[in-house]
Structure formats: C-alpha cells, structure tokens
Amino acid sequence: MSVKTNLIKAAVVQAEPVWFDLAGTVTKTCDLIKDAASKGAKIVAFPELWLPGYPTWIWARPMDLEMVVKYTKNSLEIDSSEIQDIKSCAAENSIVVCLGFSERSGDSLYITQCIIDSDGEVVMTRRKLKPFHIERTIFGDGHGPSLDNVAHTSVGRVGQLSCGEHFNPLINFNTFSQGEQIHCAAWPCVPAHSGGPEPYSMSDEVISQSSIDMMGTRQAPVSLVEVTQGYLHQTGDN
C-alpha cells in the first residue's frame, strides 16, 4: 500500500534587517515575502527580533539609554498599521508567515513571534517565556498563553520557539504534544554549525528550519560582535 506524502516548499530568511528602522524593515519584510512566494514557497520564516533587528549592543553596553529609546520607538505594536501591511502581503501572496519581532505593549517590550496564515489572519501570537541573560535588561517575560505555540495553518500544524527555548526539554515536549508538523526555529546572529541534530533543530523527530539575522559590516561598530555566517538546517526523513 502506497503512502501519500504532501510536499511543500519552505523559505527561511537569513538576511540583514534595516537596523532599528521599523518602517524600513516592514518594507523589506514584504519584499522578502513576495520573493519567497514568487519562487513557490508556501511558508516563510523570519528570525528572532527581525523587526526592528536584534539589539546586539546590549551585550557590550546594556545601559545605553539612547539606544533603548530608539529601539522602543521602532518596536512593533500588535494592532498597528505595520502588522496590517504584513498581513495583507501574506494574503496577497497566499503564503504562511512566521514572524519574529520586538513587541511594544505600553511601556514594555517583549520578544514575540506570530504566525500569519495564507489568508492574512494571525493564528498564533506568543512571547518568549524567559529572555536570555542580558536580554532581560530591556525585554519582559512571557506568560502562560505563550505555551500555546502551535497553530493550524494552510500548510499544516506549524509551531515556533525562540532561540534558547530550544534547550528546554519541557518546552520542547509541550510543543511536540500539540501535534506540530513544521517547526520554525527563530535565532539571532549565531555561529555557523555543522548541520547535525543539535538543539538548533530541537530533534530529529520534526522537520525544522532555522532562521537567523545576518549582520553587515556597518552594524559591527555598534554591536561589537563577530560577523557570522548562517546555514539552512533541516532534519527529518522528508
């Protein structure tokens, strides 16, 4: 007896945002969505804090008030016109979008992810449960509903986790238990890795794609971190 297999093409963004410029990065986001869809992709995944870019400066000078104010002003509000532009782009191009962004809610910031279905509707929004290390100087903790991190979409049940959450066995188990079929792993700038079944991909039980920010040389003086190269990493049997 033959087994029917449905294959889809996935796009993983490994690119440089328009650093700390919300409007500019929204425009680039829509351009990348259109490009992915034009090449046959049915789902596209963006890195952690893609909008407006990962605040790499915090690892060198976490108390930089000027940068924090600029970053806050360029963070994304859930019901903003900017998110509506991205939703409309997803619908116009019939593609599922897994988005990572700095969410501004009142006077607080959160490391947030959402899934926009191919009809332009947001089917899942979550916050990183515990920002990592120095990230806590500007980002708040997630909450209970953020454990509902898998949603039904036009391409199947899609789940998301952010960066260091992939090292937490209980969060991984919670994700698997929701019947996840495609996992979008969002990372900031990370070193190149060998392509083995590392925590970047959670395990070999799911098909996993890792999306990361890339950094150009003009950003290095602000960040004081090493410019790195990223790889598309896939595990699983299909």
Q: Which residues are catalytic?
A: 48
CB atoms within 10 A of CB 170: 8
Contacts for 23 with CB less than 8 Å, ≥ 6 apart: 82
CB atoms within 10 A of CB 197: 14
- Give the whole-angstrom CA distance, residue 232 versus residue 209: 7
Coil, strand or helix: which one is 110? strand
Coil, strand or helix: which one is 76? strand
Phi, psi of 115 (to 5 degrees): -115, 125
Contacts for 93 with CB less than 8 Å, ≥ 6 apart: 33, 34, 36, 37, 38
Phi, psi of 16 (to 5 degrees): -95, 125
